[in-house]
Amino acid sequence: MPQLFVNANIHTFDPANPHATAILTDGETITAVGDAEELRANTSGVETVDLGAATVIPGFVDAHLHALAHAESLAELNISKTTSLPEAVEAIRAFAAILPEGQWVTGGRWDYSKWGLRHQPDRSLLDVALPDRPVALWSIDFHTLWCNGAALRAAGIDRNTPDPRGGKIVRDAHGEPTGILREDAATLVERVIPHLPEETLGELMRHAQKQWLQEGLTGLHDIDGEFSKRAWNQLRASGDLNMRVVKYLRLDEYDWAKDTRWTTGSGDDWYRHGGLKLFSDGALGSRSSYMSSPYPAEGELYETGSEAEQNFGMQITTEQVLVEQMRDAYAHGIVPIVHAIGDQANHHVLNAFEQTQADRQAAEARLGYPLRARIEHAQFVQPQDVARFAQLDVIASMQPRHCISDLHLLNALRPDPNLAAYAWTALLDAGAHVAFGSDGPVEPTTPFAAIYAAMTRADIAGDPTTTFQAQNRMDAYQAIRCHAAGPAFASGMETRAGALKAGMNADFIAINHDPLSVTEFGDDDALFEHATAIRDTVVNTTVVGGRIKFRR
């Protein structure tokens, strides 16, 4: 039966019809948007749904979310709020005490810069607190793993273990592993951590999905691997898949994908194939993002025994290897998306995309539709490279919360001020496409906090004095578009999602605050008053595929 959603202030994000009071749906699709009485008069047998005078906007889509990692994090140790190393170790000990005997302690989200330390922690205090139980805890950026001796022994890591390609086992002056594993070295421990039962994974994902729908997400781009795919399949098989998923591959799944002829764009509106996630560098917080200038000497340095050398970060994959990986992916109908945070990493990735333009065009000709290349994060970009995103048709997949969470790191590390940093506005002005996401669980997945971050570029508490490069602030309309239409374009779904008009998927949210009620601000105080109201917006109703999936 057709449904008529009424009693609403609707921002359609359709320039041809920007405002309306009602949405008419038939099944999963919008059939008309306009005046409630006119739509009712021209439709018979319609079911009316009253939205309670709420404001309505298109549903948000998270363009970069580690879905299963986020779901698991809801049940794992979280020490992100600790303010000292002893406090963190005590929290780890207390958490371990409630686990079954012998179970690994996992989770983490630690940030040593908030502990007043100049260097990342070593295993010593963990070994005292938990000498026999394995402990493996991720840093806040998920690029460094902090382990105790039991975890290192379980993985067979000792002084003779070589650094894997794209990773580093940090060692002390005597050559012994300190317990810090950077980038791909962390996989040595990851692969021996016992997996949760598959039924547990499905239940965790079901719980996380409820949270995302409550936050206003109607879809997400999942960057996690094989076990995440299994969890989504469980939800779909049981009829509990309530949001739209674009699933990306990791390298360890790539051979399977080629063997099964997995291609970008296949699937349907509920579960769609994305692309292949590649890595160029590490992360800012772990001092492993690949930069053109070195990190300050007082920051984290690579240990080299008796001396320390300048640290430019870590080039996990060279430009030439990226070119080879991209060409192979295109040959199999799979679009590459590449993690790049440092400016030098972004430069090399753009070079690699430029060198593989012909391969991409040939793949598009075979498939019959565009392949949307992406750089994930794009936090630091050399000024001459900003325009190349548009010239090479490469999407900047960005996470506004990173900017404001990194304020303390930006103050400490002092990156080159000439770089375009978290420059979503500069990229849009250059003609590039920008897609917003969260990088959850690295950051909270709440989209309205991301809109606040894009608008203010200041700490989440709302202090204007913390603003970082105000020239790259974005207005609320553009920020919402980047979090709705941006991800739709990135997945080739721009004709089905990102706006509210006839023929689009009936995916929208009803909220308690109008984010577009103010568009002109006389000063920072007025801007922050409006932005904090957006940050605190409450979702009343979430509709996906024409059906209410959440209602407060």
User: What are the pLDDT digits (tens) for 257-284?
Assistant: 999 999 999 999 999 999 999 999 999 9
Span(s) in the chain for CATH 3.10.310.70: 68-191
Q: What is the pLDDT of residues 322-372, one digit of tens each?
A: 999 999 999 999 999 999 999 999 999 999 999 999 999 999 999 999 999
Please tell me the predicted confidence (pLDDT) of residue 39: 93
The label of the residue with tokens 């005292």 reads 128
User: Is it the case that residue 308 has pLDDT exceeding 60?
Assistant: no
Buried b vs exposed e over 267-279: b needs ≥16 C-beta within 10 Å?
A: eeebbbbbbbbbb
Please tell me the predicted confidence (pLDDT) of residue 31: 97
Please tell me the predicted confidence (pLDDT) of residue 113: 84
- Here the tokens at position 198 are 């598959």
User: Is it the case that residue 304 has pLDDT exceeding 60?
Assistant: no
State the SS3 of 423-466: CHHHHHHCCCCEEECCCCCCCCCCHHHHHHHHHHCCCCCCCHHH
Torsion, Cα of 448, 449, 451, 457 (10° steps):
170
Please state the pTM of the whole predicted model: 0.89
User: Is it the case that residue 298 has pLDDT exceeding 50?
Assistant: no
Please tell me the predicted confidence (pLDDT) of residue 74: 83
Q: Mean pLDDT in the chain?
A: 94
Please tell me the predicted confidence (pLDDT) of residue 75: 80
Pick the CATH number of 68-191 from 3.30.1220.10, 3.10.310.70, 3.40.50.11720, 3.50.50.60: 3.10.310.70
User: Is it the case that residue 1 has pLDDT exceeding 90?
Assistant: no
Please tell me the predicted confidence (pLDDT) of residue 303: 42
Sign of CA dihedral 348, 343, 447, 444: positive
User: Is it the case that residue 301 has pLDDT exceeding 90?
Assistant: no
Q: What is the pLDDT of residues 384-442, one digit of tens each?
A: 999 999 999 999 999 999 999 999 889 888 899 999 999 999 999 999 999 999 999 99
- Measured CA to CA, the distance from residue 120 to residue 305 in angstroms comes to 16
Whether the bond between 441 and the residue before it is cis, its omega within 30 degrees of 0, is: yes
Kindly provide the residue ranges of all beta strands, DSSP E only, lying in 153-197, ordered along the sequence. Answer: 167-171, 177-183
Q: What is the pLDDT of residues 177-225, one digit of tens each?
A: 999 999 899 999 999 998 878 788 889 999 999 999 999 999 999 999 8
Please tell me the predicted confidence (pLDDT) of residue 348: 98
**Are the C-beta atoms of residues 498 and 13 closer than 8 Å to each other?**
yes
- In which band, very low, low, confident or very high, does the pLDDT at 300 lie, cut at 50, 70 and 90? very low
Provide the percentage of residues in the chain whose pLDDT is more than 90: 84
265: number of Cβ within 10 Å: 21
- In which band, very low, low, confident or very high, does the pLDDT at 302 lie, cut at 50, 70 and 90? very low
413: closest CA among 548, 294, 282, 266? 294
Rounded (10°) angle between helices 524-535 and 447-456: 170
Q: What is the pLDDT of residues 129-183, one digit of tens each?
A: 999 999 999 998 888 999 999 999 999 999 999 999 889 999 999 999 999 999 8
What's domain 198-296+318-544's architecture? Alpha-Beta Barrel (3.20)
- Here the tokens at position 344 are 């030098």
User: Is it the case that residue 111 has pLDDT exceeding 70?
Assistant: yes
Q: Which helix (H) or strand (E) holds 377?
A: strand 374-377
Span(s) in the chain for CATH 3.20.20.140: 198-296+318-544
- In which band, very low, low, confident or very high, does the pLDDT at 41 lie, cut at 50, 70 and 90? confident
User: Which residues, in sequence order, are bridge partners of residue 339?
Assistant: 279, 376
